[in-house]
Amino acid sequence: TQAQQKFVYDFTEGNKDLKDLLGGKGANLAEMTNLGLPVPPGFTITTDACRVYLESGEEPLALRDEVTAHLEALEATMGKKLGQADNPLLVSVRSGAKFSMPGMMDTVLNIGLSDASVAGLAAQAGDERFAWDSYRRLIQMFGKTVLGVDGDLFEEALDEAKQAKGVTVDVDLDAADLKRLVTRFKEIVARETGRDFPQQPREQMDLAVRAVFDSWNGERAKLYRRQERIPGDLGTAVNICSMVFGNLGPDSGTGVAFTRDPASGQQGVYGDYLQNAQGEDVVAGIRNTVPLADLEQIDKASYDQLMQIMETLETHYKDLCDIEFTIERGKLWMLQTRVGKRTAGAAFRIATQLVDQGLIDEAEALQRVTGGQLAQLMFPRFDEAAATELLGRGIAASPGAAVGKAVFDSYTAVKWSRSGERVILIRRETNPDDLNGMIAAEGILTSRGGKTSHAAVVARGMGKTCVCGAEELEVDTKQRRMTVADGSVIEEGDLISIDGSTGKVYRGEVPVVPSPVVEYFEGRMHAGADDADELVKAVHRIMAYADRVRRLRVRANADNAEDAGRARRFGAQGIGLCRTEHMFLGERREMVERLILADTDEERDEALGALLPLQKADFVELFEAMDGLPVTVRLLDPPLHEFLPDITELSVRVALAEARKDGNENDLRLLQAVHKLHEQNPMLGLRGVRLGLVIPGLFAMQVRAIAEAAAERRNANGDPRAEIMIPLVGTVQELEIVREEAEQVIAEVEQARGVDLKLTLGTMIELPRAALTAGQIAESADFFSFGTNDLTQTVWGFSRDDVEASFFTAYLEKGIFGVSPFETIDRDGVGSLVRSAAQAGRATRPDLKLGVCGEHGGDPESVHFFHEVGLDYVSCSPFRIPVARLEAGRAAT
């Protein structure tokens, strides 16, 4: 109950592990205090008190007395009383939640100053100017953050005072100027709030504490929490800290420092210092700071002590820390520390440096880096300094830096790239017809659609750079040009550069710097080499450790030998998804047309017969590239109309031909077929296993191609390990029929070639019914591969291609989800089906192999989930493999 709860902790009572209760700032102030570091005494009001206030609208009853008791103890320690006229104690009131959050209330310094105590402060410090400067800062900060007065009003008054005096910096205002400014500030407060600036020290403090509590529910803080998935009911702590003054003359000052370089991880002296300044002046850029190293000249004793303290902190926290400090007349005070933010590269380097220093072990090092950071390190970057003209900005949909000539249709993209040109495909939005152009292009730029639009999803899958939804760019595919906001135009053939990590689009060719980490994964750079990049060495060590400890295997989604080769170099332990539909594009599309148009068995068999050797050749290459490793081949999945011409285009063509009276028989038949195949919901229509069941011979042809390719590899002394996967199964009966047919084909091939192919046959689990009846389906499946893309679509009832544009942004803004369920697996819904299906499958067949081949296979958070539910492997696009390996390692430690 409230009466027994302790709402206030002295800095000497807390420690760094009490972040939930004391917030990050309070917990670390306590930790430093207990380490014997010079922290100005103070106390922390707990998040419990904040929660009571937020729930009831009143501070807890006991709080007032507890604060009084701690304040009195503080006053006794300091030998002065809060705001006492002749010798005032001043304090800062500082917010501090568990997670640092933009939008929370700013700190108010110099609480306790008033008309009565300002003279006392002047006498105490022997410096009248300082006292008035502190007072005007109090009114300014208090007015703005506690009383809600527009901060510009104070800034303007300050500027006027400087102008009147003909000076440019605040330090040139003297006591008299500042005294006048205080009067002006008090007038502003009175005018804007209808009340006088509070003169009672305790009232100032209480109002400030309450304002910190209230700021927890500020709009910006709420939005930030939803986006970052920080629970809304944590509340914030409030720190009351006795003031120390960096604005007491040239032997005083304030600074920030890092225990190592947050950009590179290098040990050394990193930070900024500003003489004769208070609090935020350093970061506010009011005057020029000096590099921290200069402090050695300014105040050697404080500098040496600071270096000592930084070492203490690093050894204690076993990590890079950032620090705020103030020097008051030659005495150093520590005002804040926390484990510091760092760049992706520094994260890897620092983790291995700390291992070498014996501060952390390898398991801990693995926790100090993330797959997201590794992904960042893998993309080439533009040298932004060399960029000339920024054309606009879209959504950073798939990272990378791509340069090429602007093209506005798939055909030109393919044609130009064949003749050796680099191209950027620019479309309003993309559809499956653009696939060849997307493959041919260096990068893709669209003016419509968001992070889960077709362009974004496909590009991410291909590891291709993509900027989508660049709405200020007007794309005119007919005229083959794009108009920029300022009216200038990019014509077909003009060079542009797009940055998929920032969403920026530039005119011309911006130079790129390749990622050494990719060079390393590609085998073009060796971590053991003497001149190897420090970053590469660090990545190498951490990856090796992740590989040693992970349980999940990592496979690649790859459809051709080239991707398979890269996947292998990147550490793939097999292919988890080979999509055969990509083998039906290009010139082969015509054969598929013939298959679809076939009227008789003969015509159909002929079309299939023509496809067979081509498919087989594809598989031979793939099995060779992945020799000795499993390759899961998925039989044809997409609706057939995707292989046919667009219905409108075709209708126009037929109509025009008819008008000219030179009708083309084939086009007419095609149009009929297109009409026949047209579906309202193709995603839920004739596709996957359903195709195999209604088009006689189609799956048999594919199975034969796989079996023959495997036999050929076997006869060439290879070690092909093919797994045949049936998509979109909803019931075990479908699978049984397909299995029976497949086994017959395989037996024929084995007999003819005299080999035992050891082919396995399994299914995707991508429909809710399949997941719900997984126990039955497992009777006929050697393996399950969770198709979490389709499963997410069907479980949520979301059409992935549509929802992004229509309402996902609203959902994300309202915080319904923090991240699209297509990016990170929805644990509670889709994930729970995966979990139960895995269990049911294994109950039927304990040796059932389980994997996942949706986009989620390369998503860090999802990898952890798949580890938890006991899958055997994840499969993802080749470029995501290192990320998946790393996260699988992190999940296992």
Kindly list the residues in this chain that would bind ligand ADP in the complex (CB under 6 A).
Answer: 40, 92, 94, 107, 109, 241-244, 279-280, 324, 326, 335-336
Residue 409 binds Mg ion (CB under 5 A): no
From 468, 853, 867, 876, active-site residue: 853
Q: Report the nearest approach of ligand ADP to the CB of residue 244 (Å).
A: 5
Select 33 or 788, whichever has its Cβ closest to ligand ADP: 33
Q: Report the nearest approach of Mg ion to the CB of residue 289 (Å).
A: 16
* Nearest one of 132, 121, 137 to 88, comparing CA atoms: 121
Report how far residue 430's alpha carbon sits from residue 547's, in angstroms, rounded to the nearest whole number.
38
Is 632 marked as binding a ligand? no
Instruction: Give residue for tokens 């019914």.
Output: 769
Report how far residue 191's alpha carbon sits from residue 195's, in angstroms, rounded to the nearest whole number.
8
Is 494 marked as binding a ligand? no
Size (the chain), residues: 893
Q: What is the DSSP string of 269-334?
A: EEEEEEES--TTHHHHTSS--EEGGGHHHH-HHHHHHHHHHHHHHHHHHTS-EEEEEEEETTEEEE
Residue pair 579/642 in contact by the 8 Å Cβ criterion: no
Select 92 or 515, whichever has its Cβ closest to ligand ADP: 92
Question: Which amino acid is located at 859 in the chain?
Answer: D
Q: Report the nearest approach of Mg ion to the CB of residue 854 (Å).
A: 8
Interacting partner of 787 out of Mg ion, ligand ADP, none (Cβ under 5 to 8 A depending on kind):
Mg ion
Question: What would the two tokens of residue 149 be?
Answer: 């007065």
Q: Report the nearest approach of Mg ion to the CB of residue 415 (Å).
A: 31
Is 855 marked as binding a ligand? no
Interacting partner of 92 out of ligand ADP, Mg ion, none (Cβ under 5 to 8 A depending on kind):
ligand ADP
Crossing angle of helices 561-569/601-625, nearest 10°?
Answer: 30
Angle at 487 between CA 483 and CA 490, to 5 degrees: 40
Q: Report the nearest approach of ligand ADP to the CB of residue 243 (Å).
A: 4
* Nearest one of 710, 746, 749, 743 to 628, comparing CA atoms: 710
Select 295 or 840, whichever has its Cβ closest to ligand ADP: 295
Interacting partner of 708 out of Mg ion, ligand ADP, none (Cβ under 5 to 8 A depending on kind):
none
Is 788 marked as binding a ligand? yes
Q: Is 268 exposed, middle or buried (0-12, 13-18, 19+ CB in 10 A)?
A: exposed
Interacting partner of 243 out of ligand ADP, Mg ion, none (Cβ under 5 to 8 A depending on kind):
ligand ADP
Element (H, E) at 782: none
Select 328 or 790, whichever has its Cβ closest to Mg ion: 790
Whether residue 853 lies in the annotated active site: yes
Report how far residue 630's alpha carbon sits from residue 178's, in angstroms, rounded to the nearest whole number.
77
Interacting partner of 790 out of ligand ADP, Mg ion, none (Cβ under 5 to 8 A depending on kind):
Mg ion
Footprint (CB under 5 A) of Mg ion, residues 288-327: 324
Question: Which amino acid is located at 537 in the chain?
Answer: K
Interacting partner of 326 out of ligand ADP, Mg ion, none (Cβ under 5 to 8 A depending on kind):
ligand ADP
Whether residue 454 lies in the annotated active site: yes
C-alpha distances in angstroms, 132 versus 171, 177, 328, 786? Answer: 12, 9, 17, 69
Residue 639 binds Mg ion (CB under 5 A): no
Q: Which of 24, 201, 262, 787 binds Mg ion (CB under 5 A)?
A: 787
Residue 580 binds Mg ion (CB under 5 A): no
Residue 878 binds Mg ion (CB under 5 A): no
Select 48 or 324, whichever has its Cβ closest to ligand ADP: 324
Residue 106 binds Mg ion (CB under 5 A): no
Report how far residue 853's alpha carbon sits from residue 29's, in angstroms, rounded to the nearest whole number.
47
Dmax (CA) of the chain: 107
Neighbours of 98 (CB within 10 A): 22
Is 766 marked as binding a ligand? yes
Q: Which residue is nearest to Mg ion (CB)?
A: 790
Q: How far apart are the first and last CA of the chain?
A: 39
Interacting partner of 244 out of Mg ion, ligand ADP, none (Cβ under 5 to 8 A depending on kind):
ligand ADP
The three-state (H, E, C) secondary structure of 135-158, written as one string: HHHHHHHHHHHHCCCCHHHHHHHH
Is 789 marked as binding a ligand? yes
Mask of contacts with Mg ion, 747-766, x by CB under 5 A? Answer: -------------------x
Neighbours of 155 (CB within 10 A): 12
Residue 790 binds Mg ion (CB under 5 A): yes
Q: Report the nearest approach of Mg ion to the CB of residue 371 (Å).
A: 24
From 70, 454, 641, 867, active-site residue: 454
Select 280 or 861, whichever has its Cβ closest to Mg ion: 280
Footprint (CB under 5 A) of Mg ion, residues 766-785: 766
Select 319 or 324, whichever has its Cβ closest to Mg ion: 324
Hey, which residues does 386 pair with through a beta bridge? none
Question: Which amino acid is located at 404 in the chain?
Answer: G
How many CA atoms within 13 Å lie on the side-chain side of 880?
Answer: 31
Q: Report the nearest approach of ligand ADP to the CB of residue 298 (Å).
A: 18
Select 94 or 867, whichever has its Cβ closest to Mg ion: 94
Is 634 marked as binding a ligand? yes
Cite the annotated binding site by residue number: 579, 634, 766, 787-790
Residues annotated as catalytic are: 454, 853
- Per CB under 5 A, residues contacting Mg ion are 324, 336, 766, 787, 790
Which residues are documented as binding site for Mg(2+)?
766, 790
Binding site for substrate: residue ranges?
A: 579, 634, 766, 787-790
